[in-house]
Amino acid sequence: MLASGLLVGVALGAIMQRGRFCVTGMMRDVFLQKKGRGLVALFIVISVHAVGLAALTSLGVIAPDYRTFQPAAVIVGGFIFGLSIVLAGGCASGTWYRSAEGLVGSWFALIFYGLSAAAMKNGVLHPFETWMRQWDTGWTTLPQTFGIPAWWFAIALSLATAWAAHHYLTEDAVRPKVSLQQPWYKKALHPYTAGALIGLLGVIAWPLSAATGRNDGLGITTPTAHTVSYVTTADPKFLNWGTLLVLGLLVGAFIAAKASGEFRVRVPDATTTVRSIVGGVGMGVGAALAGGCTVGNGMVQTSLFSYQGWVALGFIAFGVYVGSKIWLKPSAVAAPTAAGTYSTEDSIHSAEDAVLTTSSAGGFQVATGLITVPAAQKKVTKARPVGPGRYKLDTLGAVCPFPLIEAKDAISELDDGEKLVIDFDCTQATESIPQWAADNGHAVEGFVQNRDAGWEITVVKNAAR
């Protein structure tokens, strides 16, 4: 039965990779783009999961152990986790599947996430976790508090989520469709489809996991900690259904990325590496304190309507909000980027530190510093002119959401009708940039994949209005 964990993980990894499913990005978009479209996908997961778990519990197939609410640990842990996933560039499951796409920065984040989670659960930091958990309210779930079946909460949440999904789908239906011309197996999953599939996997996962003695469903933090513990100690108790789940997630995401031409090894610069490491450490500490990450708390405990799940999710969102305000800012100018690397350093460097350098990339001369355009031409610092009314923005190597942040800033310098050609290699940006263009009345003139994990999109400012 342990092998079922591996199979569920493979399916989960493939779905998350093809659906670009990352809760960090969903929450971030609420604050960066003032849109809740992506967050609805998370509530689809919770709703499908909630209905399925209510059914399995009612039928006696599963018997969940409901966790008591320990407010200090959950609130502090949730906030730390939210801050940290902004630094790391992805949530726990997102870090696993981005590692499978070849982002070396995610490898660093994943390693230190596992190490810090293991230290909290089984090692030197465990006394701190125990001390934080001493304040316990004894509260478990909303259904138990109010004395009504979980079905009522599941149905109410499902109806609200269905309304929100219908709203955004109707809104999107009247907009021009922008998509890459690709064979079906390379096309991305709609996030709502991905959400429904992940919710179903979560329902299937619980009885399969329980059959091996692990009375829980999908989870990332404890399995990641167990993976590290197994690698370092070879203790067979750490090789369990959850361990195979996360290893399967990595395998499934790699297969999906490789098959769709979205795998390429991308090596981070020093600044991004440090951010990934710090973010990974914070993720492990925060998730261990809160009792789970955006999967264990944000998808599973919320589906049980536990106090822990919903309070943790709220404070994760608050942490993402604060982290976005601190770290997610456009650069003053395009920053130097060495060939074959990606960098978020441009978000903290000032214009006076930039210099004019050029390098060849994709057949174009790419300006990587401050660009001075002759007086007869309009000066554009974010993008370089490549023809009349046409400018090029190179964000190759920039981790999400920086391609979108830089594109928004660059297009603000253009006149209506002028074109911005954006080069990027962040997988999530294949969805976020076209959606941003549609939301803001910009037209997309061309959108192509020009190499493995590399895309070019041409946005015409205000042409769609």
Q: What's the sign of the alpha-carbon dihedral 370, 374, 379, 382?
A: negative
- What is the full DSSP assignment across 303-339? TTTBHHHHHHHHHHHHHHHHHHHHH----SSPPP--T
Residues 6+ apart with CB under 8 A from 80: 282, 285, 286, 289, 319
Residue from 330, 303, 271 nearest 202 by CA:
303
Compute CA 287 distance to the chain's CA centroid, rounded to the nearest angstrom: 15
Question: Which residues partner with 456 through β-bridges?
Answer: 423, 448
Rg of the chain on CA atoms, in Å = 22
Residue from 43, 4, 40 nearest 302 by CA:
43
Runs of H (alpha helix) within 328-453: 402-411, 429-439
User: How far apart, in Å, do the first and last CA atoms of the chain sit?
Assistant: 56
Query: Catalytic: which of 22, 293, 400, 426?
Result: 400
400 tagged catalytic: yes
Residue from 86, 32, 40 nearest 194 by CA:
40
Note whether 455 and 425 are within 8 A (CB). Answer: yes
Question: Which residues partner with 334 through β-bridges?
Answer: none
Residues 6+ apart with CB under 8 A from 239: 2, 226, 230
Dist CA 96 CA 253 (whole Å): 8
Compute CA 125 distance to the chain's CA centroid, rounded to the nearest angstrom: 27
Residue from 292, 304, 306 nearest 69 by CA:
306
Residues 6+ apart with CB under 8 A from 13: 96, 97, 100, 248, 249, 250, 251, 252, 253, 254, 255, 256
Q: What is the DSSP letter of 297?
A: I
Residues 6+ apart with CB under 8 A from 166: none
List, by residue number, the catalytic residues. Answer: 400
